[in-house]
Amino acid sequence: MSPTTWGWLVLLFPLLGTITIGLGFRTYSRAAGVIGTAAIGLAFVCAVGALIALLGRTGAHREVTSTLWNYDVSSGVDAGLQILVDPVSIFMMLVVTGVSTLIHLYSTAYMRSDEGYSRYFAYLNYFVLSMLILVLGGNFIMLIIGWAFVGAASYLLISFWYRRSTATGAGIKAFVINVLGDVGLVLGTFFIFRHTHTVSFLGSFHAAPHVFHTDSADLVAGCLLFLVGAFAKSAQMPLHTWLPDAMEGPTPVSSLIHAATMVTAGVYLIVRLHPLFQIAPTAGEVGAVIGCATLLIAGTIALVVTDIKRVIAYSTMSQIGYMIMGASAGAYSAALFHLMTHAFFKALLFMAAGSIIGAMAGSQSLDKMSGFRRAMPFTFVCFIVGGLALSGIPPFSGWVSKDDIIAYMNNRGGVYEVLGILGYVGALLTGLYTFRMIFRAFFGDPSPEAKELEGGHIAHAHTPTNPANGEEEDTEVGFPGPEHVIAEREPAMKVAMGLLALLALIGGFLQLPGVDHVITNFLGSSLADAPLAAAAHEPTTTSAWVGLIIGAVIGLVGITLAYSIYVRRPGTAAKFQAALPWLHRFLVNKWYFDEAIDLVIVRPALAIGRFTETVLERIVISGGVTGGVTGAVRSGSAAVRRAQTGVLRYYAAAVILGLSAVVLYFLISST
Amino acid sequence: MSAVLFFIAAIIAIIGAIGVVALRNPLYAVLSLVCHLVALAALFLLLRAEFVAAAQVVVYAGAVMVLYVFVVAYVGGGDEVAAGSALRILGPLFAVALSIELFIAMLGTGLSGIKGHGAPYRYGFGDPEHIGKLFLTDYLFAFEVASLLLLVAAIGAIVLARRRRGLEDDERDFAAVRAAPRPAYTGTLAEAVGVRRVLDQLEQAGSVTELMGGVPQDKAMTATVLGSRDTKEPAPADSGEEQS
Amino acid sequence: MALGWYLAVSVLIFCIGAGGVMVRRNPLVILLCLELMLNAGNLALVTFARMHGGEAGQIFALIVMVVAACEVTVGLGLIVAISRSNLPIDVDELHELNG
């Protein structure tokens, strides 16, 4: 079968899954989990089929498009339901469907006691469908459609426990910021379309070098707008404030959407549109700078946050900063490689976090967790594997991929070298905050929950509370279910986490410098037209290995620092906090981004809204326009009513007057 | 000869018309109209419409005007002219304007027949025989409709002018309902027109609940109705209120 | 006489009647003035019948007379009913149908 047929099948199965579970949510209670997982599993199988079909071709034949039907061929827009199957999209498909299958498997156990079980799987399948539309899209229209759909799915899943006010607020925040990105995406498309007169990717890419010169204004504007979209979706500065709040959603949702797939859509966007970014280096520079800034800022905030899921969220933000930085600079295959490994170990970390949150009866605060090492050995191992991969310790996958990016940046020189060095600083911070989290949660004296678990009994809170603001809640629909699950007792969770841990361990070997270049070779055909990705820019093997060793050392330094602060001398952190309270406050308040956005955007918008309502709506429109019209009608009819005096003689006079007028008219018209 | 007769009849007709308009006493006005009608009959004769002239005298002046005299005698009524009514001046003005226009129309028309004396005379023109034949052949429909109209008018006159014997039961209840003050602010036409009635009702009603449609007891309502019949004093007040 | 004279008389009587309707306040007299106007119409009809030589005008004049009679009947019945309700016989006072 041709690759595009496999591509359509990949889209078909999650669609069927969504529709089946969505429409039959009353009939399916437990079956929804099976159906959902099976749908994504089948999609993964078809993605593998597409890969095999594509491997049989070479060169330009590896870019295959297929259009089901045309939406609109009028007004010069050639929008069709078109997919493009090429190495980049197959790569993304495999990552998305593979990790999604494992997360679906994990969710069948994790969400077991939730009343909204089938709703959850319908939404999750819908999300995977949207993400696949996004990566498979063959023209800008499909990209925008997928982009908007994943935003909607993210909203639905963040506010999944909709009776929690914090969850719904977080969902709205995420959606609003994502819409901002959508606007950027659509406007960027328009800027490009104006010159290339086609919305299909391949058409635009072939036309781009001819219609744009380097750094032409429209192209830079378009690429900057695309970057706005990428930043909103991938939670880069300054549109990143939604990601920590998005942790209100269930943990599998966080691991799927906000670690492995949706937030990587920005990276995919830059890699997919690389022919345009090649011609507009300014936009690339902007992207790289913002990516670097984000990875540093997020790293510093992760050092002080106490909610375990938010630590992992900021770590996600930071790692995606690496990817955006790399993709903007031209390290396309390195960025995608890091995307893949990051998906593995970040999903694993989130799954393990879900397990320990279950052991804590829903509480997510690091302040309350300690000493779970003996009570939860499997979770501990998963955390260690994920943490080592994240910190970039050999031989784990994160080590190879992260340093792949940094080596490329250093090789490019100039401002990119500076960014690369800052990337090493970020790596130090990564090791530090990751193992801060691990040491605090698993080392030290066991907390009461840990002791209960060692006794073989999962702790249960007396009354269920919202971990974000502590208010009491129920266990009905719209709230988390009453049961808490931990990985040690659920085979489904163990299988999923185990597979991911294995992948996090060995995934890096796909692209060891000097040993094998699986990913670069595979992606090479679609990146063939990118001068930046040419072999000349690739770092030499020696410099790559030097970079790898430096990266490993820095990671180890970070871990050792964390060990000494949190395990060997437990009071050190408190001393730091006491010595630099202003710094601590600054970081805990997330660099005051939320307050700044509130001041600059939210309050003026609310003021404009209020003004519009009180002045424009009430006075001008209701009072002036409709009130004026009705008032005019009323006063007009009042004036007319005055003619109805009821006095007979006036009526007679009016009749005779009218008669005179008619006769006069006939007199005049007959002359 | 006919010119002399014409002028005499015309002048009498016009004087009669002016008399109708100008005379204060309605009886005199009726008599003036009778005179006018007779003059008009003379004019009809001059126009060789014998039957119409005869009908005019017999039916119009004879029957209709007699009816008028009876009613005027029964009803009576003087006529005070209200000071300052604009129509005292405007009325004649409009009439003069209309007359001028019609004169212009008549004189300026290209109708040749106006200058002439009419079509050549056929024997039996205006005869009752001819009129009757036309009524029963060409204009039968008009004839029948006119007779129906007469029937309707006769019945109407009887219905309008009969003396009422007093209220029957359902009529009394209806009168009671009609006499109750209507609730305020319910959108009656009276309220739409002017607030005076509502204010009057507010003054007259004892309490707001009564005004808001609270039903008074039956005894009170009966007393109201019977009281209106006995003393006759609230009824004119009621009718006076109806007019204001 | 030329037929134009008859028409002139008719116009005069019509306008006198119209003026009377507008000026007088007693409904009986207003009805009388209405009769004036109807008669003026009759005169015009008969004149035109003479002008054209057909009797249609005279027939029409007879029908007008019938209508006038009916109208007087009903109108006088109304006035009798009004006077029996002790309402003033003055059209300026009877202005209930207003607004």
* Mean pLDDT (whole number) for A345-368: 89
| Contact yes or no for A667 and B104 at CB 8 A | yes
Q: Is B15 on the interface with C (CB under 8 A)?
A: no
Q: With a CB-CB cutoff of 8 Å, which residues 158-187 of chain B face chain C? A: 158-161, 163
Dist. CA C90–CA A471, nearest whole Å: 82
Q: Is C95 on the interface with A (CB under 8 A)?
A: yes
DSSP-assigned letter for residue A369: -
Dist. CA C96–CA C87, nearest whole Å: 12
CA angle A506, A508, A513 (to 5 degrees): 135
> Which of C70, C87, C90 to substitute to test the interface with B, most B CBs within 10 Å?
C70
* Predicted pLDDT at C62: 95
Which phi and psi angles does A261 have, rounded to 5°? -120, -65
Band (B228; pLDDT cuts 50, 70, 90): very low
Amino acid at C28: L
The model's pLDDT over A633-649, given as tens digits with 9 standing for 90+, comes to 988 988 888 888 888 88
The model's pLDDT over B25-46, given as tens digits with 9 standing for 90+, comes to 899 999 999 999 999 999 999 9
Q: How many CA atoms lie within 13 A of B182 on its CB side?
A: 12
Report percent pLDDT > 70 for chain A: 97
The model's pLDDT over B178-189, given as tens digits with 9 standing for 90+, comes to 777 666 666 667
- In this complex, the residue of A644, A646, A652 whose CB is nearest that of residue C22 is A652
Sequential DSSP letters for A327-355: HHHT-HHHHHHHHHHHHHHHHHHHHHHHH
Give the CA distances from residue C47 to residues A359, A402, A408, B1, B49, in Å, rounded to whole numbers and listed in that order: 117, 117, 117, 19, 9
> Which of C59, C67, C78 to substitute to test the interface with B, most B CBs within 10 Å?
C59
| Contact yes or no for C19 and B21 at CB 8 A | yes
B182 within 8 A of B242, measured Cβ to Cβ:
no
Report percent pLDDT > 90 for chain A: 37
Amino acid at B213: G
* Mean pLDDT (whole number) for A33-56: 91
Q: Is C33 on the interface with A (CB under 8 A)?
A: no
What is the b/e burial string over B196-226, where b = at least 16 CB atoms within 10 angstroms of the residue's CB?
Answer: ebbeebeeebeeeebbeeeeeeeeebeebbe
Partners of residue A641 in chain C, C-beta under 8 Å: 99
Dist. CA A136–CA A648, nearest whole Å: 84
Closest CA to A337 of A139, A142, A4, A94: A94
- pTM (2 d.p.): 0.69
Helix (H, G, I), strand (E, B) or coil at A172: helix
| Contact yes or no for A647 and C21 at CB 8 A | no
Report whether pLDDT(B77) > 90. Answer: no
The residues that bridge with A82 in the sheet, in sequence order, are A67
DSSP-assigned letter for residue A482: S
- In this complex, the residue of C21, C30, C97 whose CB is nearest that of residue A646 is C97
Dist. CA A158–CA A253, nearest whole Å: 8
- Tell me whether the omega of the peptide bond preceding residue B216 falls within 30 degrees of 0, making it cis: no
| Cβ-based interface (< 8 Å): residues of B facing A | 87, 90-91, 94-95, 97-98, 101-102, 104-105, 108, 193
Q: Is C68 exposed, middle or buried (0-12, 13-18, 19+ CB in 10 A)?
A: buried
A480 within 8 A of A464, measured Cβ to Cβ:
yes
Contacts of C48 (CB under 8 A, 6+ apart): C57
Name chain C's partners: 3 or more CB pairs within 8 A. A, B
- Dihedral of CA atoms B194, B200, B201, B207 in degrees, nearest 10, equals 130
A653 min Cα distance to partner chain C (Å): 6
> Which of A644, A649, A657 to substitute to test the interface with C, most C CBs within 10 Å?
A649
* Mean pLDDT (whole number) for B110-128: 76
Number of CB atoms found within 10 A of residue B89's CB: 10
A461 within 8 A of A361, measured Cβ to Cβ:
yes
* Predicted pLDDT at B236: 41
Rg (CA), chain A: 30
Look-up of token digits 């925008």:
A144
Dist. CA A21–CA C42, nearest whole Å: 90
The model's pLDDT over C42-65, given as tens digits with 9 standing for 90+, comes to 999 999 999 888 889 999 999 999
Q: Is the dihedral of CA C45, C46, C47, C53 positive or negative?
A: positive
Give the per-residue SS3 of chain B.
CHHHHHHHHHHHHHHHHHHHHHCCCHHHHHHHHHHHHHHHHHHHHHCCCHHHHHHHHHHHHHHHHHHHHHHHHHHCCCCCCCCCCCHHHHHHHHHHHHHHHHHHHHHHCCCHHHCCCCCCCCCCCCCHHHHHHHHHCCCHHHHHHHHHHHHHHHHHHHHHHCCCCCCCHHHHHHHHHHHCCCCCCCCCHHHHHCCHHHHHHHHHCCCHHHHCCCCCCHHHHHHHHHHHHHHCCHHHHHHHHHHC
* Mean pLDDT (whole number) for A24-41: 85
Contacts of A651 (CB under 8 A, 6+ apart): none
Contacts of B217 (CB under 8 A, 6+ apart): none
Band (C89; pLDDT cuts 50, 70, 90): confident
Look-up of token digits 């050995």:
A377
* Predicted pLDDT at C52: 86
Q: Give the distance from CA A115 to its chain's centroid.
A: 26
Dist. CA A349–CA A371, nearest whole Å: 18
User: What are the CB-based long-range contacts (under 8 Å, 24+) for B169-177?
Assistant: B172/B225, B175/B225, B176/B221, B176/B222, B176/B224, B176/B225
* Mean pLDDT (whole number) for A347-367: 89
Q: Give the distance from CA A409 to its chain's centroid.
A: 25
* Mean pLDDT (whole number) for A243-247: 91
Number of CB atoms found within 10 A of residue B70's CB: 12
- Tell me whether the omega of the peptide bond preceding residue A238 falls within 30 degrees of 0, making it cis: yes
Report whether pLDDT(B239) > 60. Answer: no
| Contact yes or no for C16 and B29 at CB 8 A | no
* Predicted pLDDT at B227: 46
* Mean pLDDT (whole number) for B163-182: 70
Report percent pLDDT > 70 for chain C: 99
* Predicted pLDDT at B225: 46
pLDDT greater at residue A348 or residue A621: A348
Q: Which stretch of DSSP H or E encloses residue A20? A: helix A3-23
Report percent pLDDT > 90 for chain B: 39
The model's pLDDT over A75-94, given as tens digits with 9 standing for 90+, comes to 777 788 889 988 889 999 99
Classify the phi-psi angles of A369: left when phi > 0, otherwise alpha if psi is within -120 to 50, otherwise beta: beta
Look-up of token digits 């004093």:
B233
pLDDT greater at residue A472 or residue A534: A472
* Predicted pLDDT at A325: 92
- Dihedral of CA atoms A232, A234, A236, A239 in degrees, nearest 10, equals 20
Sequential DSSP letters for C48-65: HHHHH--THHHHHHHHHH
- In this complex, the residue of C14, C61, C70 whose CB is nearest that of residue B52 is C61
Dist. CA A17–CA A121, nearest whole Å: 9
Q: Which stretch of DSSP H or E encloses residue A456? A: none
Read off the tokens for B64: 């209709």
Number of CB atoms found within 10 A of residue A468's CB: 18
- In this complex, the residue of A641, A656, A671 whose CB is nearest that of residue B98 is A656
Q: Is A349 exposed, middle or buried (0-12, 13-18, 19+ CB in 10 A)?
A: buried
Name chain A's partners: 3 or more CB pairs within 8 A. B, C
A484 within 8 A of A467, measured Cβ to Cβ:
no
Report whether pLDDT(A531) > 70. Answer: no
